[in-house]
Amino acid sequence: MSNNWIRQSYNKVARVLGKVDPKNQSFPVLEGHPAAQKHAEGAVEAHESVVEKATQLLKEFKIYRWNPDHPNNKPYLQSFFVDLSNCCPMVLDALQKIKAGEDPSLNNRRSCREGICGVGHAQ
């Protein structure tokens, strides 16, 4: 009895401190219900995969840059990283986000912003 009490107390403290693996947690409500336990395990695994995928929404955009004010300098590629979880799927939207947040010197033709040709859609 006292051993079980110590283990439960340790688990509560560890849970508060965030040191317990969610797969190893026991849920008293689910005891005696194997189908519910299996469903809960699947939900925990699904949560982990969602957290992993949320960090993978960062996309690198390599932009070919050249400054006409300095014609002797060679063109170069400059990388920008955009979080696609809070950006539209259009490449032009990502360019606008880069211009607004990271590099105000980035420009594109205004007619391109209309999106008429369909080239700016990211796949």
Contact 72, 50 (CB under 8 A): no
Tell me which CATH homologous superfamily contains domain 58-114. Beta-grasp domain (3.10.20.30)
Closest CA relative to residue 103, chosen from 69, 70, 72, 80: 80
Domain range annotation of the chain = 2-54, 58-114
> What confidence tens digit (pLDDT) does each residue in 1-38 have?
566 667 677 677 666 655 555 555 666 666 777 777 77
What is the C-alpha to C-alpha distance for residues 43 and 110, in angstroms, rounded to an integer?
47
Token pair for 117:
């040709």
> What confidence tens digit (pLDDT) does each residue in 60-83 have?
899 998 888 998 999 999 999 888
pTM: 0.47
